[in-house]
Amino acid sequence: MQRRSRGINTGLILLLSQIFHVGVNNIPPVTLATLAVNIWFFLSPLKPLLGSCLSVETCYQQKDWQRLLLSPFHHADDWHLYFNMASMLWKGINLERRLGSKWFAYVIVTFSLLTGVVYLLLEFALAEFMNEPGFRRNCAVGFSGVLFALKVLNNHYCPGGFANVLGFPVPNRFACWAELVAIHFISPGASFAGHLAGILVGLMYTVGPLKKIMEMCAGNFPSPVHYPGQQYYFNSSGYSRYQDYYPHGMPGYSEEVPRDYDAYTAGLSEEEQLERALRASLWDRVNDFKSIWN
């Protein structure tokens, strides 16, 4: 199948540059796998966009329910992929470290399906209440709904502080709503219902019953707590390790003091990390071109 974009995929190049800038070994396994799956489906899509995007008409009326699985992992173009996966990179490092890899994988799968279901319900409700059948045909694609849900989780676990939204400081607990509005001022073609669906799924997990339902369905599956036996540690040199961790050490073994995540992120907010990452990637590309011409 032909790729949907032509020429040089600058967004994909920047994404790969950013991943290697962070260091593959510094990215937890589920986050890395999520990045890899999205990149793979961008390079080798299972279906064209019109065959994978999600809408009430295609899913409910035409019974094409496989779109619930396909739509989060397909992207419209390389920049759509870049901005979603750059955001996933930082959210994934933070949340997977906090929740553990198995539970984080469970969250990703659940959120991917639920954001699609909630999106369909929102579009159906809009079509009915506004008597506008066009909402049934609105077709959404991409991982951004899941990212909004993860943003709610991230803000829930880190409630203090402020996020920078269009240059304005916004308390973290309101950041998702501010970003929802800001994105649709900047990019009116983005799926408002898709992003709103992500926020609602995140709230279902943090203040609603979703987390308890997931725990009941999981049975003996590990619950979302810090793993006492395994942790990721990061430092500013880019080195990481995945190791056994004993809070009080082991007899006969000297223990290196764990370095916290803030050392790796330099205390920057997620938005500041993304801005710095983009600058670093662009600067790396400029230096590469200079070295070629010199």
List, by residue number, the catalytic residues. 144, 195
Long-range contacts of 270-279 (CB under 8 A, 24+ apart): 270/87, 270/90, 270/91, 270/94, 270/154, 270/163, 271/163, 271/164, 271/165, 272/164, 273/90, 274/86, 274/87, 274/90, 277/18, 277/21, 277/22, 277/86, 277/89, 277/90, 278/14, 278/18, 278/86
Q: Are 21 and 281 in contact (CB under 8 A)?
A: yes
Task: Give the separation between CA 278 and CA 215, rounded to whole angstroms.
Answer: 37
Element (DSSP H or E) covering residue 101: helix 101-129
Q: Are 129 and 56 in contact (CB under 8 A)?
A: no
Taking the alpha carbons of 286, 7, 18, 161 in that order, is the dihedral positive or negative? positive
- Give the position of tokens 């396909």: 70
Q: Are 136 and 124 in contact (CB under 8 A)?
A: yes
Closest CA to 38 of 1, 104, 2, 83: 83
* Amino acid in the structure at residue 110: T
Compute how many other C-beta atoms are within 10 angstroms of the C-beta atom of residue 193. Answer: 19
Chain-centre distance of CA 224, in angstroms? 18
Closest CA to 147 of 116, 111, 114: 111
Q: How far apart are the first and last CA of the chain?
A: 38
Chain-centre distance of CA 110, in angstroms? 13
